[in-house]
Structure 1
Amino acid sequence: MGKSRAKQRKQGDKWYYLAKEQGYRSRSSFKLIQLNKKYHFLEKTKVLIDLCAAPGGWLQVASKYCISGSLICGVDLVPIKPIPNVITFVEDITTEKCRGKLRHYLKTWKADTILHDGAPNVGVSWLHDAYSQTELVLMSLKIVAEFLTYNGTFITKLFRSKDYNNLLWVLNQLFGKVEATKPLASRDVSAEIFVICQEYKAPDKIDPKFFDPKFVFEDLPNPSQDHQSRVFNPSKKRRQRDGYEDGNYIQHKTISAEEFLTSNNPIEVLSIANAISLDDRDLKNYKGIKDFDITTKEIIACCQDLRVLGKKDFRGLLKWRILVREKLGLNH
């Protein structure tokens, strides 16, 4: 019998083997290591909470990099094997019971860093999984609101989806700096990204609507910037006094891959569109683009939601555009 797809993937996965060699419980440990190398938050952390922490790889990293004697607490629906100097317990992060246990362990302390690498039980459908993931982030924000200290850091995993902009808007109301990134240890075919939220504002009161999916996933403000800035420097934002982005509200705009390929200003196209359609039904003259070898799973994932991409992803799309144009003879 042939080897399973999962086993084949592991055999070609250097992060999987590095995790085994270095004693980490999961390859995702290197995601946190790489995020910390870029943003330098663990070395400043005395109190850390890890939500959806099983099997404990991130807790192992936190135990290694946080300040000596730090209070590190992890929670998950499934038991986590003991880790030296780390507190773990079994609970649902969406419940009051979970928050009660955190109060018990933290006492009067506030967390410097809260991590959330959780994901729903995937497999029902992509849209369902992505929506459930964003709901999990909202539930983790409830814990952030109670336990994160002023100027603290919150790091959460997200799937690419149409709800990303709405969730990002909420995070920008609560944090001074919000940036999306994808560590090298994330699989190329994975649609996951990580949002790094720093400089927590710790408001005295937070509107409960911020934790309500029905409110958050309605139309909310979306950044409005010049074309090149939107694509290659999306962190710069111009806001009105009421806190909303100046102009441009969320309107999901999909353009065809043909329009992207034939445009004289592809950066402008990337700046105004939310998605690029590779569907042959949207292509008049150049069908079958989705089936090209150079149209990888990562390219397809990037096309599904442009608004969550980083500089590297956009450059990848522009490079893909050049290769497809060459294949179609459009560069002559």
Structure 2
Amino acid sequence: MAATLVGTGRRRARTNGSEVRMGRSSKDKRDIYYRLAKEEGWRARSAFKLLQLDQEFNLFTGVNRAVDLCAAPGSWSQVLSRKLRGQEEKAEKGEEVKIVAVDLQAMAPLPGVTQIQGDITKVSTAQEIIRHFEGQPADLVVCDGAPDVTGLHDVDEYIQAQLLLAALNITTHVLKPGGTFVAKIFRGKDVTLLYSQLKIFFSGVTCAKPRSSRNSSIEAFVVCQNYSPPEGYVPNMSNPLLDHSYDVDFNQLDGPNRVIVPFLACGDLSAFDSDRTYPLQLHADKQYQYTPPAQPPICPPYQQACHLRKNNLLSREDALSVGPSQRPEPPAESN
């Protein structure tokens, strides 16, 4: 098979004399969930992770008030909007569904979603969430936030753990007793420490791996059910977690002395494998067509670099003189 580059940036491959247009990005060819997200109108492939978690845990049952922390670009908020507002339309009578999305970054608007551009480590953000709920606590809090990974697993796991604890902290301010908390976690050697912290506030804690999450990734999700804080506990941003006994050699204990974190794989075997490479044309009777992302990033940090590279300005002295108003929109990308 021979492939040649064309002016549009796409590739065309010739097989047995017939020409087939390939994806504009290598992600189109490589990642089936990336392609499905664009076809179904999701802003990122991560939408399927929350959908598959819901299939296993029925996260949205009875939920009228939901919070999406670290929400940008908004795929989990999309899922909440479609699922919860769909349930609201089916119900003849019921409480109005309210969804609040929080992130430091700007996010394009979504129907039925109230956006807060704020810091989840500030008590003012928690107060604003409650204000949007008219003084009522949330039924569900989700968080798909993650740091920019360095490739140093110990560092990445530590930073992700701190982000999870920050999400847990604000959750204790806004979640109702009996509510559910879902957050991303990097599974490492100290995952039992995080598990022990979560068990203080939730009677049920499960570590789950959706099928749309790559097997090659240490990413997983903690599903914490039945929020039941200790009696007399008062949420405090400056001291988010209770002091409790935790032996530094805890992870080296064997047998029944070691706390085992329940681990559950979500998504049945009929789902696509996130680590497998699929052909662009999945069905013989349906021709592949390129689909642009539902929502390109808003003011990404790499916007200027993309413009300079596209216009061959990286090595020119006048490259820095290009003003923001002269820069075109960045190429569309997705998580």
Matches within 5 A, 1:208-287: 220=246, 250-252=250-252
One-letter identity of the residue aligned with 2:190: D
For residues 194 and 200 of structure 1, do their structure 2 counterparts lie closer, same or farther at Cα, with a shift above 3 Å needed? same
Matched, 1:40 2:58: yes
- Contact conserved, 1:152 with 1:199, CA < 8 A, in 2? yes
Unaligned runs of 5+ in 1: 223-248, 254-268, 275-305, 314-332
- Contact conserved, 1:160 with 1:308, CA < 8 A, in 2? no
Matched, 1:26 2:26: no
One-letter identity of the residue aligned with 1:220: Y
**What is the TM-score when the length of structure 1 is the normalising length?**
0.63
CA distance in 2: counterparts of 1:87 and 1:312, whole angstroms: 32
Max radius of gyration: which structure? 2
* SS of structure 2 residue aligned to 1:43: coil
For residues 119 and 205 of structure 1, do their structure 2 counterparts lie closer, same or farther at Cα, with a shift above 3 Å needed? farther
CA distance in 1: counterparts of 2:35 and 2:137, whole angstroms: 36
Shift of 1:108: 1.2
- Contact conserved, 1:172 with 1:178, CA < 8 A, in 2? yes
CA distance in 2: counterparts of 1:44 and 1:190, whole angstroms: 32
**What is the TM-score when the length of structure 2 is the normalising length?**
0.62
Unaligned runs of 5+ in 2: 11-23, 89-95, 267-335
Q: Which has the higher strand share?
A: 2
Matched, 1:76 2:103: yes
Q: Which has the higher helix share?
A: 1
Aligned to 1:117: 144
Q: CA-to-partner distance for each residue in 1:235-254, whole Å, 9 max, x for gaps? A: xxxxxxxxxxxxxx60437x
For residues 213 and 107 of structure 1, do their structure 2 counterparts lie closer, same or farther at Cα, with a shift above 3 Å needed? closer
Shift of 1:273: 12
Shift of 1:312: 6.1
- Contact conserved, 1:76 with 1:91, CA < 8 A, in 2? yes
Matched, 1:13 2:31: yes
CA distance in 1: counterparts of 2:165 and 2:133, whole angstroms: 22
One-letter identity of the residue aligned with 2:136: W
Corresponding residue to 1:90 among 83, 107, 117:
117
- Contact conserved, 2:206 with 2:263, CA < 8 A, in 1? no
For residues 183 and 27 of structure 1, do their structure 2 counterparts lie closer, same or farther at Cα, with a shift above 3 Å needed? same
- Contact conserved, 1:219 with 1:250, CA < 8 A, in 2? no
Matched, 1:61 2:79: yes
Q: CA-to-partner distance for each residue in 1:107-130, whole Å, 9 max, x for gaps? A: 311100000111112227322221
Matched, 1:174 2:201: yes
One-letter identity of the residue aligned with 1:25: R
Shift of 1:187: 1.1
CA distance in 1: counterparts of 2:176 and 2:132, whole angstroms: 16
Shift of 1:143: 1.5
Aligned to 2:214: 187
Matched, 1:139 2:157: no
- Contact conserved, 2:121 with 2:237, CA < 8 A, in 1? no
Corresponding residue to 1:129 among 145, 153, 156:
156
CA distance in 2: counterparts of 1:192 and 1:34, whole angstroms: 15
- Contact conserved, 2:209 with 2:265, CA < 8 A, in 1? no
Number of positions where the alignment pairs a residue of Structure 1 with one of Structure 2: 237
For residues 210 and 169 of structure 1, do their structure 2 counterparts lie closer, same or farther at Cα, with a shift above 3 Å needed? farther
- Contact conserved, 1:166 with 1:219, CA < 8 A, in 2? no
Shift of 1:23: 0.5
For residues 144 and 12 of structure 1, do their structure 2 counterparts lie closer, same or farther at Cα, with a shift above 3 Å needed? same
- Contact conserved, 1:149 with 1:202, CA < 8 A, in 2? no
CA distance in 2: counterparts of 1:111 and 1:208, whole angstroms: 15
Cα-Cα RMSD: 3.4
For residues 166 and 207 of structure 1, do their structure 2 counterparts lie closer, same or farther at Cα, with a shift above 3 Å needed? farther
CA distance in 2: counterparts of 1:108 and 1:80, whole angstroms: 25
